[in-house]
Amino acid sequence: MSKNDSITPLVQLEWDKAAALISRGKRIAVLTHVQPDGDAIGSMLGLTLALRQIGKEATPVVDGGLPERFAFLPASHEILSSVEDLEVDLIVSTDASDMKRLGNAGAGLRERGLPLVQLDHHQTNLLFGDANLVDARTAAAAEGVYDLLQYYNWPLTPEIAQCLLTGIVTDTLAFRTNSTTSALLGKAQVLMETGADLPEIVQRTLATIPTALMRFNAIVMQRFQLEPEGVIWVTITLEDFKEAGLSFDTYVGLSGYMIQSEDAVISATLKQLPEGGTDISMRAVPGYNVAQIALSLGGGGHLLAAGCTLDMPLDEAVQTLLPMLKAEARRGEKLYT
């Protein structure tokens, strides 16, 4: 038994409200969170294509545009990086736990007073939509989109299936996280039977990294620190990215790597930002909760994977965060000892 078993998953499924807003919408902007991962892009594109299937004009938008590694996904080339000239009457968002995560695109559209339907699976979701479709029991926002298609009886196409399986595979690290349920495996089976290509998705998203990232890891990982409490952490700087020849906004995934240490129960990567702040990414093994820490610092996430941005320099961020991580490491209890 884990102490986390006492945490009730956040579930707020306003199907009727969402259906009413969607049925009134003609032109829909489909948004997702900034610095999008595979679930952000997969759920956004899957929902975009699904909305088109029911006759809507749907446009995917994400701040900063499409990360190159997801260019294999259907409709990925249609992603806009800004909403400036976009005429829409409804916003739909996926995989974002609060308004801030939707970046300039979200803020720009919301300022126009447009209604928002938001679909998400983060335990820390702030229920910021006019209709909320939040289910923290789902492993990925893409699983939430799958459930939506089922609930509304909308058609599933091979293209939608490919997008949704990408979201599921990336958020579960290919069905390895404790969010993976037998129900999810059943949904993945349907997605594969519909035409999603699991080996291709795994190869493109999980099994391949930029060579410069390998160089970056070799530089940075010389400095990781392991605290007696089982907190493993590392700081990364703008200089590290420069040295490795790696673009600063590359997803580096070091927390996910460090949490694999047999001595670690919580991992954290603290990344220096060009504007002077610090970006924080955390992971935990089952039995611990980093979502609460992220939420208390203005961010959010899942029990075992969460993040936030602190408005302070790197060294100060270390001083702020480490005591919190150590306290959680002492509080929690390893589920699998």
Residues contributing to the site for Mn ion (CB under 5 A): 39, 95, 141, 171
DSSP single-letter state for residue 56? -
Q: Which is nearer to Mn ion, 14 or 39 (CB)?
A: 39
Residue 301's H or E segment, with its range, is strand 300-302
Q: How far is the CB of 302 from Mn ion (least distance, A)?
A: 8
CB 106 within 8 Å of CB 92: no
Nearer to Mn ion, 43 or 272 (CB): 43
> In this complex, which beta carbon is closest to Mn ion, that of residue 52 or of residue 122?
122
Strand residue runs (E) in 249-299: 266-272, 278-284
CB of 32 to Mn ion, least distance (A): 9
- H helices of 173-244, in order, are 182-194, 198-205, 211-220, 238-244
* Number of Cβ within a 10 Å radius of residue 108: 18
User: Measured at CB, which residue is nearest to Mn ion?
Assistant: 39
Which C-beta is closer to Mn ion: that of 95 or that of 240?
A: 95
Element (H, E) at 308: strand 305-310
Q: Output the smallest distance, CB 141 to Mn ion, in A.
A: 5
Given the complex with Mn ion, which of 40 and 246 has the nearer CB atom? 40
Residue showing tokens 């949904």: 187
Shorter beta-carbon distance to Mn ion: residue 39 or 135 = 39
Nearer to Mn ion, 102 or 246 (CB): 102
Distance CA 26, CA 318 (A): 47
**Three-state SS for 259?**
coil
- CB neighbours of residue 273 within 10 Å: 16
Smallest distance, Å, CB 179 to Mn ion? 10
Cα–Cα distances in angstroms (integers) from residue 322 to residues 184, 232, 279, 293, in the given order = 35, 10, 14, 11
Quick one: 95 or 159, whose CB is closer to Mn ion?
95
**95/135 with CB nearer Mn ion:** 95
Min dist CB 245 to Mn ion, Å, is 29
Tell the smallest beta-carbon distance from residue 42 to Mn ion (Å): 9
List for the chain the helix, strand, coil content (%; round to 5): 45, 20, 40
Q: Are 195 and 162 in contact (CB under 8 A)?
A: yes
Find the shortest distance in angstroms from Cβ 66 to Mn ion. 17
Give the neighbor-by-neighbor strand order of the sheet with 266-272.
Answer: 225-226, 231-236, 266-272, 278-284, 305-310, 300-302
Name the minimum Å distance from CB 43 to Mn ion: 7
- Going along 50-146, which residue ranges are E strands? 57-61, 90-94, 116-120, 131-135
Minimum distance, C-beta of residue 171 to Mn ion, in the bound complex (Å): 5
Tell me the residue type at 242. K
